[in-house]
Amino acid sequence: MKPLFFFLILLLNTALFATVPIIYDIHGSSPALDTNMTQFLNQWRTDTITPVQEGNYTNVIVNGDTTQKTVSLTFDDSPDENNTDKVLDILKHYDVKASFFMIGDPMNDENATAVTRASNEGHLVLNHSFNHPRLTRLTSEEVIAQLNATSERIQHLTGKYPLLMRPPYGSINQTTLDTINTHGFTTVLWSLDSLDWALKDKNAIIENVITNVRNGDIILMHSGRANNSSVEALPEIIEKLTQMGYTFLPLETMVNIKAYK
C-alpha cells in the first residue's frame, strides 16, 4: 500500500509542477555597454520581470516553452521601407517566420507596403503603439487610444486586428497593464535582448544572442530606420541558431495564443 501511495504522490507533484511555466529573467549583455547603461538595464529587468514571475503582473508573455529547442524572432519599430524590407528578404531566404511589432503612425506610403508584405508573407504584424510613447506616462484613455489606433490601421492594411502588443521601451506598471488587459490586449515582452539598439555592431549583436540563447527565448531585435547593424547580424544569427538545433516559431505558435481578433 505504501509504495502505491508514494507513487500517486509523485505523479501528483509531477503533474502540478509540469503545468507551472518557467518565466525567464531577461538575458542579453555586452562589454560594449558602459557601467551606467548596464546598471539601468539590470534595474529595469528586475523591476519588470519580478512582478511577472511573482504573479502580480498578469497576461504578460516573456518566453515560450523552456523544454523545447525553439526560439521566436521579434522585431520592433517597423515599418521602415528600407530595413523592414531587408529583414523580410532575409527571413524569406531562410524560410523563417517572425513577428513584427509595428508603430501605427509611419504606416503610410512605402511603409504601408512593408506592412502588407510582412502579413502576406506569413509573419505576424502586431501592435507597438501609435507613436512610441512610454505608456506608463499616459492616462488609461490615452493608452487605449494608442493601441486601438494602431490595431485599426493594421487591420485596414492587412485585414487582421492584432491583440498582441509590446509596450515601447518595455515600460509597464500595474495601472497600464490593467488598462491593456481590460481592453483585450496581451502584453508581449522578451527574454533575450539582442541589444541591437545599443551595440550598433554586427559582431557584438551576434555574440550576445548566441552566447545567451535558451530554449523558448523570445528574441528582441529591431528593424527601424536606425537599425542597419541588426539587418547585417540577422543572417548569421539565423544560421548559427539553426546549427545549434533551434527551430524558429512565430509568437502565435510559440506561446499558443491567438494573435488577432
What residues act catalytically? 76, 222
Q: Is 30 helix (H, G, I), strand (E, B) or coil?
A: coil
CA nearest neighbour of 71 among 97, 43, 35, 103: 97
Query: What is the C-alpha to C-alpha distance for residues 19 and 10, in angstroms, rounded to an integer?
Result: 14
Alpha-carbon span 106 to 86, nearest angstrom:
17
> DSSP characters for 172-225?
--HHHHHHHHHTT-EEE--SEE--HHHH--HHHHHHHHHHH--TTEEEEEE-ST
Distances (CA, A) of 140 to 182, 185, 190, 254: 10, 13, 23, 30
CB 218 within 8 A of CB 72: yes
Helix (H) or strand (E) holding 233: helix 228-243
Residue 94 to residue 92: CA distance in whole angstroms: 5
Q: Which three cell numbers stand for residue 95?
A: 524560410
| Rounded Cα gap, residues 254 and 68, in angstroms | 10
